[in-house]
Structure 1
Amino acid sequence: MKLRDFLIGVATGLAAAVIIKEASEKVSPYVPAGQVLENIKKEFKKDAPIDGSWIYMKTDDFTNGIMTIPVYRGGISRMHAGEMQTFEFAADARSGVVVELIEV
């Protein structure tokens, strides 16, 4: 095998990888659910330690009366001032921004 043929193969493989990566981002433009949960936990940890957390990995529709957006639903529990606090949230699947936070 010639060096030129090898380099053409490597270049073709790299080009295919870039095209596949770009196409997959267009098909699923959502922020990974785990990353959304980690960002929310980081914000909660500023006030008090977290005892538990969870997030659904599949998106759900959230309507605010004007528009419907895909969201991840999840929850956080923590001890604050000697009492257990439990929160449920809905975070925009495209940006990770919390659009609803309810203390249960």
Structure 2
Amino acid sequence: MNWKSFFLGAAVGIVGGYVTKEILTQKTNVSPERVLGAVKKHLQPKGSILGSWIHMEAEPYDKNQMTYRVYKGGISQNTDGNIQQYEFIADAQTGTLLDLIPFST
């Protein structure tokens, strides 16, 4: 067995494993479609959803002295014959709903 080939293969394996670990642990955003689906699912028990939208690009948002990357969107809902509209703000990395703001009519 050639020791140079063995050590070269071991080194390539270690470097490849490290690079793979770094790629997998990078913080990635949840897709906007998934966030919109989660918000709809959250509101569905209160009434039927009439329409919804989401801004597809994450943007900075400050809340409680912390800065988040967020998706902003809106939902229209029929609740007991009344149409209610909401704006929502969700964390782009976790999909967590940060704010749900009803519009006054």
* TM, length-normalised to structure 1: 0.73
Which ranges in structure 1 are unaligned for 5 or more consecutive residues?
1-14
Given the alignment of the two structures, is residue 52 of structure 1 paired with residue 59 of structure 2, yes or no?
Answer: no
Q: Could you list the structure 1 runs, at least 4 aligned residues long, displaced by more than 6 angstroms after superposition.
A: none
SS of the equivalent of 1:23 reads helix
**1-structure distance, mates of 2:78, 2:46:** 10
Which ranges in structure 2 are unaligned for 5 or more consecutive residues?
1-15
**What root-mean-square deviation, in Å, do the aligned CA atoms of Structure 1 and Structure 2 show?**
2.3
Given the alignment of the two structures, is residue 37 of structure 1 paired with residue 36 of structure 2, yes or no?
Answer: yes
Alignment-derived partner of residue 23 in structure 2 = 23
Among the aligned pairs, what percent are the same residue? 36
* TM, length-normalised to structure 2: 0.72
Determine which structure has more spread, i.e. the larger CA radius of gyration.
2
